[in-house]
Chains A and B, each alone.
Chain A
Amino acid sequence: MALTKETIQDKIEVVGDFKHIQVRTATVIKEDGKEISRSFHRHVVAPDSDSSKESADVKAMVAQFHTDAVKKAYTDHLAKGV
């Protein structure tokens, strides 16, 4: 019986007016190659978030969606006190 554990980002979504990037990280436990457990941990990358420690996939989406115009619109939105 061999147990293995792997962590993968199994869902990355861009949502909302300000292109928040929702990232789901799955921890998958397998026994002899068959999945027996999967648990989820989430985080969201906002336009003003520090993305320097994100995965390459998330960084690519940040570069694509968090444009200067989106960042400014989000900053203005926050300034209104949402």
Chain B
Amino acid sequence: MALTKVTGSGADGLNLSSTDVTISSGDLLFATANKGVVLGVTSNTDSNTLDDYEEGTWTVTPFDDSGNSSSTTYTGYYTKIGNLVSVNVYMTNISSAGLTSGESVKINLPFTVKSSTYSVGGVISDNVDFSAGRTQINARANSNDTSVIFRGSGDAAGDDAITWGEISNTVSDIFFTVTYLT
């Protein structure tokens, strides 16, 4: 007789049928780290294996090209699925004190950005004084680094970095999400 149930502590745990595997309650756990589920193929290939999922936070610290950090920090939220990281950041009343006016506004990330990739995410800005010709900004995760830079763009204007001179001290807000490869 074929095995159809795996039972523990008097209750059905794992139910097997000719087409499905059902876990009656609880989660699917692997006893070894970095193991995963192979999806969509019938052989075990790395590129088809979902072997990582993680949710968490990191401390978001705005900084300039010279490495000077803002005195205001924030909690950012991330979700990592395989090699894809999605982050959500909500920065209010950003302090630009001590930061270099002509240098880029940068934000640290929780995972290193994959080499030769440039992922772009949406931004809402409040009281950011765009330079001439720029009407919107986007967040760009920087290749081979752990930072986001903000790029201003507009009709018939070349894109350029949002600088600390465009941030109004303890007034400007920036909210953004970006999804990038790691």
Contact = CB atoms under 8 A, between A and B. Distances in A.
Interface residues on A, range: 10 to 19
Contact of B56 (A20, A42, A44, A48): A42
B145 A82 contact: yes
A77 B59 CA distance: 24
B58 interface: yes
B112 A20 contact: yes
B112 A22 contact: yes
A57 interface: no
B55 interface: yes
A17 B115 contact: yes
B110 A42 contact: yes
A39 B57 CA distance: 9
Contacts of A41: 56-59
Contact of A77 (B57, B108, B145): B145
B144 interface: yes
Contacts of B108: 43-44
A39 B56 CA distance: 7
Interface residues of B, number: 23
A46 B145 contact: yes
Given A43-B58, A46-B145, A82-B142, A16 B78 contact: no
B111 A22 contact: yes
A29 to B, nearest CB: 15
B54 interface: yes
Given A16-B115, A22-B111, A22-B112, A44 B146 contact: yes
B168 interface: no
B115 A43 contact: no
Interface in B131-149: 142-147, 149
Contact of A43 (B65, B110, B149): B110
Contacts of B149: 82
Given A39-B57, A43-B108, 8 more contacts: A18-B145, A24-B56, A41-B59, A42-B110, A43-B110, A44-B111, A82-B142, A82-B144
Interface of A: 15-18, 20, 22, 24, 39-44, 46, 48, 77-78, 82
